[in-house]
Structure 1
């Protein structure tokens, strides 16, 4: 069935005549008449009595119109709703991210997005564990490191570089370590999720270090404060400790070794048609990444 013929039929009834409908649709009355005839042939009933100026519905036509009109109006309402969402998007966007990544970097971006799109609400779920994004109804997730979510698109945002560091006071007390093995003699500050530190030398050879931590953290800001306070040595992302390194509150250790980088990524469901609120959020984040590229140590 050609459903466009249904639309033309309803439009003729609404306008009251072939001529009025033809004027609004900008098509010849002969075309309208032919399309209604096609509809009648498909149904096997006459729907309209033929008249260019006066419209008369048959019994079958009146019954059919009463059935079609609510569907037609619902379709128009849905179309207008979609257009409204595209021009003035609204609704709730559920986003998840690691706690420190949001607090240290993403939150200002989220706030700017909400100011730019006042009709979109943000439901922010901050966790350091990898939750089931499908079960939680997440629209967009930020993750660090490897990601395996079937049917989700992965967008690389930037490379998070790390620095092995500690406070100057700790070095004055214990001296500079000369190798990874020396770190066993130092108090360590380590993440609960990553107690193994990975390094590369100038030849690209991998070196692993596993020590006994004195302080275990879940949130990066606390780890930075502990390192600055001289609690121990830590391996932390540059986007968190950049200011402390520049100001001299933290210093770099074992410069002959390069800590392994980790990729910061944004993931979202693989859909042919993304909701406007999701599409706009993704575009906004990618634009911010481009604008802040030099500051993100990409």
Structure 2
């Protein structure tokens, strides 16, 4: 069915004449009449009786109009709502992200996003564990490391590099490790979800240290503070360590060995239509990460 012809038929009935519909649609009256005739030919029924004075719907035309008009009205209403949403997105946006990544990097961007889109309410779930995204009703998630989720689109944001660090006080007391295997003789401060440390050596060697922690901790910034206090060695993302390294409160160890990095991802549900609030959030965050590169 030609839906443009159907639309013209509905407007003819609503306006009560071909002339009225012609003025509304900015089409010649002859074109409006021809389109209605084409629709009648397509559906196989005469839809209206034409006379010089007025239009009268046939029984088939009346039933056809009564069925189709609510559908078209709903379609127009939906189109207006969608246009409004795209122009000025609104609604509740539920986002989950790791605590330290938010504190050190994402938090300021979240605040800027709220200023840019005042009709969007942001519901932040900051946790250092992988929550059930569907059960929690999450729209957008930030995750670090390997992603194994079906029906979710994963967009890489950045490579999170790590540094092995300790305080000057700790190194004076315990010595400077030169090889990953020597870490077994040291006191380690270990994030709860990163209990195995991976290193790449200068000649392609690889080392994997299954950490025995004196302090196991779920918040990375607090782990860095513990290392600054001389309580042990940490292997943490550089976005957590930047200030402490620049100010000399921590020192990088084993420069010939590189800690394995982890990818930061942005996730959202795979679907045909992405809600406006989700779309603008993704675009906003991706643009901020692009500026870091």
SS across alignment from 2:190: strand
1:153 aligns with 2:169: no
Paired residues in the alignment total 293
Aligned to 1:69: 69
Deviations 1:195-226 (A, max 9, x none): 11111111121111123210001111111111
1:162 aligns with 2:158: no
Aligned to 1:84: 84
Aligned to 2:109: 109
SS across alignment from 1:178: coil
Aligned to 2:129: 129
Aligned to 1:29: 29
Give the conservation status (yes or no) of the 8 Å contact 1:18–1:53: no
Q: Distance in 1 between matches of 2:165 and 2:148?
A: 31
SS across alignment from 1:138: coil
Give the conservation status (yes or no) of the 8 Å contact 2:180–2:199: no
TM-score by length of structure 1 reads 0.91
Q: Distance in 1 between matches of 2:142 and 2:118?
A: 22
Alpha-carbon shift at residue 59 of structure 1 (Å): 4.2
SS across alignment from 2:213: coil
1:233 aligns with 2:226: no
Change (3 A) 1:54 1:193: same
Alignment of 1:259-270 (within 5 A): 259-270=259-270
Aligned to 2:175: 175
Alignment of 1:191-202 (within 5 A): 191-202=191-202
Deviations 1:98-152 (A, max 9, x none): 1211122111111111110111111222222222223332221111110011232
Aligned to 2:189: 189
Give unmatched runs, 5+ long, in structure 2. Answer: none
Aligned to 1:100: 100
1:248 aligns with 2:253: no
Q: Distance in 2 between matches of 1:52 and 1:236?
A: 84
SS across alignment from 2:7: helix
Give unmatched runs, 5+ long, in structure 1. Answer: 294-298
Q: Distance in 2 between matches of 1:24 and 1:211?
A: 75
Aligned to 2:205: 205
